Chain A
Amino acid sequence: MCLGIPGKVVRIWDDRGTPMADVDFGGASKDVCLAYLPDLAIGDYTIVHAGFALTRLDEESALASLEMFRELGMLEAELGIVLPEPAAASAASEEVGDEVPR
Chain B
Amino acid sequence: MKYLDEFKDPVIAKRMIDDILATATQRWTLMEVCGGQTHSIIRNGVDTLLADAVEFIHGPGCPVCVTPLEMIDRSLEIAARPDVIFCSFGDMLRVPGTDKDLFSVKADGGDVRVVYSPLDAVNIASDHPDKQVVFFGVGFETTAPANAMAVVTARQRGLTNFSMLVSHVRVPPAIRTIMDSPVTRVQGFLAAGHVCTVMGTAEYGPLVEDYQVPIVVTGFEPLDLLEGIRQTVALLEAGTPALRNAYPRAVSPQGNPVAQKVLADVFEVCDRQWRGIGMIPASGWQLSPAWREFDASLRFDVDDIHTAEPEACHSGEVLQGLIKPFECPSFGTLCTPRTPLGATMVSAEGACAAYYEFRRLQVPTKVS
Contact = CB atoms under 8 A, between A and B. Distances in A.
A65 B223 CA distance: 11
Contacts of A31: 117, 119
Contact of B118 (A51, A91, A95): A51
Interface in A17-71: 17-18, 30-33, 35-38, 47, 49-52, 54-55, 57-58, 61, 64-65, 67-68
A35 B258 CA distance: 8
A74 B221 CA distance: 13
Interface of A: 1-4, 16-18, 30-33, 35-38, 47, 49-52, 54-55, 57-58, 61, 64-65, 67-68, 72-74, 77, 79-80, 91-92, 95-97, 100-102
B250 to A, nearest CB: 6
A61 B250 contact: yes
Given A33-B117, A77-B90, A2 B139 contact: yes
Interface stretch (B149-157, B208-216, B266-274, B309-317): B149-157
A49 B91 contact: no
Interface in B42-71: 43, 61-64
5 closest Cβ pairs, A-B complex: A51-B117, A1-B89, A50-B146, A55-B197, A4-B194
Interface stretch (B72-80, B293-301, B346-354): B346-354
A46 to B, nearest CB: 10
B275 interface: no
Contacts of A47: 194, 197, 250
B347 A49 contact: no
Given A49-B145, A97-B337, A61 B249 contact: yes
A18 B153 CA distance: 8
15 contacts: A18-B119, A38-B258, A54-B142, A54-B197, A54-B256, A54-B259, A61-B250, A64-B8, A64-B221, A68-B221, A72-B40, A74-B36, A95-B337, A96-B337, A100-B114
> What range describes how many residues of B lie at the interface?
35 or more
Contacts of A64: 8, 221
Given A74-B39, A100-B114, A49 B256 contact: no
Interface string B170-181: 000000000000
A49 B39 contact: no
A26 to B, nearest CB: 15
Interface string B225-246: 0000000000000000000000
A61 B243 CA distance: 23
Contact of A97 (B116, B119, B348): B348
B318 interface: no
B149 A80 contact: no
Interface in B247-264: 249-252, 256, 258-259, 262
